[in-house]
Amino acid sequence: MTKNKIFTIIVLCVIMTICITLATQGTEAAKKEGDFNLLQVKMNDNLKNEISSEIAKNLGSISEAVYGYSYRTIDENGDAIINDKPPTQSVKVDYEKTFMIYGIKSEDLIADYNKKQNFGKLISQDYSLNMPVLASDNSIISAVEMRKIKGPERLLFVEANDQKAKNEMKKYASENGGVENFVLVEDADKQTKDDMLKYATKNKDKYKISIIGQYLPLEAIEIFSDETKLSNLLDSTGISDIQNVKLVSLYDYGMEIVYFTKGNQEEYAIPFKYNPNFYKSMQNGKTYTIQELIDMISQEF
C-alpha cells in the first residue's frame, strides 16, 4: 500500500502546510489523568467568535466539499473515483462537540517506535481542532479541521535534493522548540515563497480551516465528538486504570487511533481506518496493544 492510495481528502486551504501546529491558548480542556472528557474543548467566547466567523465565511465551500465528497466512490485499489456532484445543501457545524486530534513528531513511525519502545513519546504536543458537520436533520455527515497559523519565522525553505541543508534545518528546528513547530518547504519558487510568507504574516495566530470533508471515518467522528460514546468505548475494553487518553492521527498510515495507557505503562490503541480495504487483519473499534498495531502497519509499509 502506498501513501497516495490513502483515502482522498478534500483540502480547502491550499496553504495548509503553514497551519502545522495549534497552540492551546484560548481553550479550557480537562487535564485530569484518566478523564474520558480530556479530548473535548470548552471554548471561551473570544475563541468561539473567532472560529464561528471563519466557519460562517466558508459555509458554502464546506457544504460544496462535503456533499461533493459524499458522491465519491473508492475502487478496489483504494483510489477515489469522482462522480457527478449534486447540488449543495445546507449544513451546520457543531461547535459544542469540538475535539482535539494530536499528530506524531516522527518521520518514520515504525523505526522510531522500535527504537524507543514508547509510542507516547512520539505524540506531538500540538493538536488540531475538529468539529462535526451536520446535515439538516442533525445527523453527522463530515467534519472540519482548523489549525492556528504559525508566523513566517516558522517557515524553512530548502531545495529538495540538498540533504545537508535539510539536516541542518531539522537540527535548528529541534533545538528551537521541536521539528513539529516548523514547516519545511521544498523547492518553492520565489512567488510561492512570497505568497506563503505574506499569508503567514497576515494570519499569524489566527484559526483557519485546513481540511474539510470526510477526512475522518464517520464512525470515528461520531465517537470522538461524543463524550458518552468515547467513555463507553474505553469502558468496553475491560482495561482498568485507563490514563493518558488522546486521539492521534496516523494519516500517512491510513488511520486515526484512540491512544491510552494502563496506568502509566502498557500502551494501547483503538484504530479507525479510512478505508476498509486497508489492513485486512485490523478491525475498527477493536483494542490492540501498540506493539500489535505497529506490527500490522509494518506488514503494509
- Domain ranges in the chain are 3-149+205-300, 152-203
Mean pLDDT of 144-150: 85
- Of residues 252, 284, 279, 253, the one with CA closest to residue 269: 284
Tell me which of 28 and 178 has the higher pLDDT. 178
Residue 33's pLDDT is what? Answer: 33
Kindly give, in sequence order, each residue whose CB lies less than 8 Å from that of residue 249, ignoring residues fewer than 6 positions away: 101, 102, 103, 104, 128, 256
What stretches of the chain adopt beta strand conformation (E)? 72-74, 80-82, 92-93, 99-104, 123-134, 140-148, 155-158, 183-186, 207-213, 242-250, 255-262, 266-273, 288-289
Across the range 99-123, mean pLDDT stands at: 89
Question: Which of 50-59, 170-179, 284-293 has the largest mean confidence?
Answer: 284-293
Instruction: Give percent of the chain above pLDDT 90.
Output: 26
**What's the pLDDT tens digit per position in 241-274?**
999 999 999 988 999 999 999 988 899 999 999 8
Task: With residue 191 as reference, give the H or E element that holds it.
Answer: helix 190-203
Distance CA 164, CA 40 (A): 41
Please tell me the predicted confidence (pLDDT) of residue 124: 87
User: Which of the given ranges, 45-49, 59-63, 213-217, 221-225, has the highest pLDDT on average?
Assistant: 221-225
Could you tell me where the beta strands, DSSP code E, fall in 72-223? 72-74, 80-82, 92-93, 99-104, 123-134, 140-148, 155-158, 183-186, 207-213
The grid coordinates of residue 82 equal 469522482
Query: With contact defined as beta carbons under 8 Å apart, do 93 and 134 qualify?
Result: yes
C-alpha grid cell, residue 53: 466567523
Residue among 210, 166, 211 nearest 19 (CA): 210
CA 16 to chain centre: 12
Model pLDDT, residue 214: 64
User: Can you say how many angstroms the Cα of residue 191 is from the centroid of all Cα atoms in its chain?
Assistant: 29
121 half-sphere exposure, CB direction, 13 A CA radius: 8
Tell me: the pLDDT tens digits for 24-57? 333 333 333 333 344 566 677 788 888 888 888 8
Residue bearing cell 488522546? 246
Rounded Cα distance, 229 and 249, in Å: 19
> 0.85 exceeded by the pTM?
no
Looking at residue 209, its pLDDT comes to: 85
